[in-house]
Amino acid sequence: PQPLRLNSRPVLVVEDNPVNQEVMKESLAQLGYRAHVVDNGQMAVDALLAKAYPLVFMDCQMPVLDGYAAARAIRQRESGGPAHVPIIAVTAHAFEGEREKVLAAGMDDYIMKPIKQAALLDALQRWWPQSAAEDAAAPASAAYAEPARRRSSRPPSIEEGPSNAVVSVFLRIVPEQIRELEQAIT
């Protein structure tokens, strides 16, 4: 199999949970994509004002500005000129009507947590923008966003178990979360 080629433009990942951030970064890296991670919806709006990203993965439940409000703000800004950036909702909510809610907020698609590598790959295949200039700049041996499953019979997967980085982040944040839970109980 051919090695994965990092895409030159990073995907914007909007996620407030450090463990989920690491999982998304690793999952995207395993598929040949780089992630620029921000912690909340306001930071996403600001990031998109500063730089054009080809794709956004947006958590829905976050502090400061949730994913729904951030998507609406991004769409409102786009109505004044910039190109439409695909926004994929990433949520643990499996409630009836959730897909309609994210679409009504201006997001383009919806994937469920915990993230499955196949769902992430499908979203990237559907929404990653390609242009003739990018295709021409890509080496002949690998298409710009060539799916991992075409290069290998079995792409690497974060689903096989957490990496040392994910475990490290988890172990770093859990003690504080336990303290917060104990305080809330008392």
pLDDT of residue 98: 85
- Give the separation between CA 159 and CA 157, rounded to whole angstroms: 5
pLDDT of residue 151: 39
Q: Give φ, ψ of 114 to 5 degrees.
A: -65, 145
pLDDT of residue 75: 94
**Segments of the chain with pLDDT less than 50:** 1-4, 132-156
pLDDT of residue 19: 86
pLDDT of residue 143: 35
Please tell me the pTM assigned to this model: 0.72
